[in-house]
Amino acid sequence: MSLLGNSDDIYSSVKDYYGKVLASSKDLKTSACTAAAAPHPIIRKAIASVPDAVNDKFYGCGNPIPLGIQGKDVLDLGSGSGRDCYVAAALVGPEGSVTGVDMTDEQLQTARESIGEFEKTLGYAPKLRFVTGYIEELQKAGIEPLTIDVCISNCVINLSPNKKLVLAGVHQALRAGGELYFSDVYADAQLPDSVRKHDVLLGECIGGALYVKDFEQMAQEIGFAPPRVLSIAPIAVNDKELQALVGDTKFYSITYRLFKADEHEKAKQGDFTATYLGTIEGHEDRYELDIDNVFVKGVSKPVSRGTAAILSSSWLSGFFAVAETSNSNSGSAALPSSAETLMNQLRRLEQLNSSASGGCCSSGAKKGCC
């Protein structure tokens, strides 16, 4: 059942907005598609190598591309002009592959036309392709089950009229231990129909924003491990007319990590420690799994059973050493776990953002600097 009413109307509205209304990111009326922390230097370097035609039509709200994905098979949901696919192709190297799925012909044309230029920049032919399709119907788009290591998405899932179907399709496409690493727009309250069905708010990723509590429940019902919050940035609604429509509701660009990892694998009694090996390029000294789990190279750290399961059974397993200890005083019982709701994390992160001196995506920052 559609979450936002008639699916055909929503698809038509989104296609028209991204294919015809927006000529470039300068035409946006909110910061939803530019609200993101500054990317890692390796990502920034890869972005600089992407053809201008692709970068000019980029409408993402984050930087949902993990490092350490050399040789992996990557899927991008709603790939648009293809910017994140191009960046991911540079990171996976000649042995990996990247597939972008999108439904907007104009965006797909931009993405496909620049592959030859990018090949010259890389010095080899990347396994990079763009397919026409709906992110709710990945198999119909040619994405077979159990073929993807990492799925990324940048400010797109909120545009879907059936988000649960999207997440279920991703879960099916991922190999065991795979991950959905994505940025999207979320609200601190459920939205009224006047917001959810407004063409501009829908196109700018505000109308389709999920309430964070609804998202948490949906993801776990499908079979993902409890969502991990990696980063957050507040979204500014700059247009006066749109401000009146959304009222006091607050919107955020949040980067989440959803692992297809068996958390029951580490469900037996005992405590766990994890040690980061320092083998991910760009994260040689430390690695941030999420806001509650930051690892320093070579330092053993107590972790929850859920975190131990992810680090030992996901695509990250080769970068960590996980050990079980019988020491009941190791402190793992007091560590943050899925019992801490996403809403609590959001509030805590909001406080951190408000106390930080204005960065690229603070409320006073120049739009588009990210």
User: What does the alpha-carbon distance between residue 260 and residue 165 come to, in Å, rounded to a whole number?
Assistant: 16
Task: List the single range of 59-63, 70-74, 253-257 with lowest mean pLDDT.
Answer: 59-63
- pLDDT beyond 50 at 1: no
Q: Is the pLDDT of residue 62 over 50?
A: yes
Looking at residue 354, its pLDDT comes to 57
Q: What percent of the chain has pLDDT over 90?
A: 52
Give mean pLDDT, residues 314-327.
91
Q: What is the pTM assigned to this prediction?
A: 0.81
Tens digit of each residue's pLDDT (9 = 90 or more) over 292-306 = 899 999 999 999 989
Query: Do 188 and 250 form a contact (C-beta atoms < 8 A)?
Result: yes
Over range 158-169, report the average pLDDT: 92
The answer to which of 3-7, 171-175, 323-327, 340-344 has the lowest mean pLDDT is 3-7
Nearest in space to 76 (alpha carbons), one of 86, 68, 90: 86
Q: What is the largest CA-CA distance in the chain?
A: 61
- Report whether 152 contacts 182 (CB < 8 A): yes
Chain-wide mean pLDDT for the chain? 82
How confident is residue 240, by pLDDT bands cut at 50, 70 and 90?
Answer: confident
- Tell me, what's the pLDDT at 245? 87
Task: Give dist(CA 179, CA 250) in Å, integer.
Answer: 27
Residue 289: is its pLDDT beyond 80? yes
Q: Given pLDDT bands bounded at 50, 70 and 90, which one contains residue 57?
A: confident
The percentage of residues in the chain with a pLDDT greater than 70, rounded to a whole number, is 75
Higher-pLDDT residue of 198, 32: 198
Q: Is residue 303 within 8 Å of residue 335, measured between CB atoms? A: yes
pLDDT of residue 360: 30
pLDDT digits (tens, 9 = 90+) for 184-230: 888 888 888 888 888 888 777 788 888 888 888 899 999 999 999 99
For residues 277 and 160, which has the higher predicted lDDT (pLDDT)? 277
**pLDDT for the residue numbered 286:** 98
pLDDT tops 60 at residue 7: no
DSSP three-state, residue 328: coil
pLDDT at 197: 81
User: What is the set of domains in the chain, with CATH numbers?
Assistant: 7-260 (3.40.50.150), 263-334 (3.40.5.100)
247-257 pLDDT, tens digit per residue, is 888 888 888 99
Higher-pLDDT residue of 6 and 345 is 345
Amino acid 335: pLDDT: 44
| b/e code 336-346 from CB counts within 10 Å (16+ = b) | eeeeeebeebb
- Residues 275-289: what's their mean pLDDT? 98
User: What value does the mean pLDDT take over residues 24-50?
Assistant: 69
What band does 37 get if pLDDT is binned at 50, 70 and 90?
Answer: low
User: Rounded to whole angstroms, how far apart are CA atoms 105 and 108?
Assistant: 5
Q: What are phi and psi of 92, to 5 degrees?
A: -75, -20
Please, what sign has the CA dihedral across residues 245, 107, 96, 163? Answer: positive
Return all residues near 171 (Cβ < 8 A) that are at least 6 apart.
Answer: 180, 222, 223, 224, 260
Q: Return the pLDDT at 9.
A: 55
Helix (H) or strand (E) holding 212: helix 212-222
| pLDDT score, position 349 | 57
Per-residue pLDDT at 3 exceeds 60? no
> Which residues are within 8 A (CB) of 231 and not within 5 positions of it... i.e. 6 or more apart?
37, 62, 254, 255, 291, 349
Structure-model confidence comparison of residues 104 and 356, the more confident one: 104
In this structure, are residues 282 and 290 in contact, taking their beta carbons and an 8 Å threshold? Answer: no
Task: Please tell me the distance from the alpha carbon of residue 55 to that of residue 48, in angstroms, as a whole number.
Answer: 9
pLDDT at residue 46 is higher than 90: yes
Q: What is the pLDDT of residue 91?
A: 98
| C-beta separation of 10 from 201 below 8 A | no
Residue 177 has pLDDT above 90, yes or no: yes
Residue 359 in this model has a pLDDT that exceeds 60: no
Structure tokens at 204: 């700018």
